[in-house]
Chains A and B, each alone.
Chain A
């Protein structure tokens, strides 16, 4: 067994898990954070994407023990004070989902992508950057629209209410 500790969505958590436990299983089964999904067993679909120390990773391809000592952000950690994160809001507005199974991973990938392209994104870049996230429903079109809209919205300086 491995004794692990990490900060998940700003909250310090500790646990004792089998060494072989994947991060995604620690999140879903030990922490009850079932927003992070498992869509494949080959590390290809991206439904499990979370941020570890600020970077998007596949939580099905990392042991929980490897993440010990890290800061983890999951889809549950994005909304603040009851307000959707701009990327969540853009997916809602632009109908960037159908069944919603891929959506948590898509949104975590999109937040990471927007962080890495502070100068803005174009359609070609968004499509290439979504290489690690598979959607079986939407045909990607509205996902791409949502990411572009969110990137645009987030680059605007915040206006005081």
Chain B
């Protein structure tokens, strides 16, 4: 790892100021992506600004069906929150299947969505749940927030502070994990509301997370796995790598969508 300077702010405003003063600083959430990247010398920030001691970034609130999750909330806290499990168990399930227990003790929802890894789990939930992403500057819909492979609408000095959404009638997540890393080889999150179904796919798209409109339309007619029987996803725009071809991922999208619907229907 190259040299860096560590900072520990106690408020969002202080963190933003510290980043502004740094030559080439980066925010440090749980560090479960940034530290490995720094160890590999693929990132070399002059300064790291630790967000773990900022109280205003922590915690989960559920009032009625309205959910707000602070950006500094760990995967483990989301996985085990009983209030959240009562209204949207799918997101608890998703968080509980990220990486391994040690990663879940440190990694945060804010770090995961800011990184927007094309194989990360949370971006699919944010997009399918039609979540709002709250930052130190504004609030954006998930559709606006995720802009492509590892890309987000965030400015350099902008901190994700929380995500919020209204729990849908039903939701489900299914992922085919890469057997070595547990990242999604393909993962599908489905969310059903009276006005229709949203379906978001991670792990498969060349540009990162995306909505599968053909599957949304079919499921909006009938929220049953069997309505997806005849549907074939095009392989165009899907990733091909040593783990799986684009055609294989295209097939997995439909299979995972069926499993996600099954999970949502209980």
A contact residues vs B (CB 8 Å cutoff): 2, 18-20, 22, 41-44, 46, 49, 55-58, 60-63, 65-66, 109, 112-113, 116, 129, 131-133
Contacts and interface: CB of A to CB of B under 8 A. Distances in A.
B52 A66 contact: yes
A62 B106 contact: yes
B262 interface: no
B58 interface: no
B182 A66 contact: no
Contacts, number: 77
Given A22-B35, A58-B103, A62-B106, 15 more contacts: A18-B3, A19-B3, A19-B5, A41-B40, A46-B100, A57-B102, A60-B39, A62-B35, A63-B31, A63-B35, A63-B48, A112-B101, A131-B100, A131-B101, A131-B182
A-B pairs with the 3 shortest C-beta distances? A132-B100, A131-B100, A65-B6
B6 to A, nearest CB: 4
A58 B32 CA distance: 9
Contact of B102 (A20, A41, A132): A132
B2 to A, nearest CB: 7
- Majority secondary structure, A binding face: mixed
Given A41-B39, A44-B181, A63 B102 contact: no
Given A43-B36, A61-B31, A66-B50, A55 B105 contact: yes
A18 B48 CA distance: 13
Nearest to B36: A43
Contacts of B181: 44
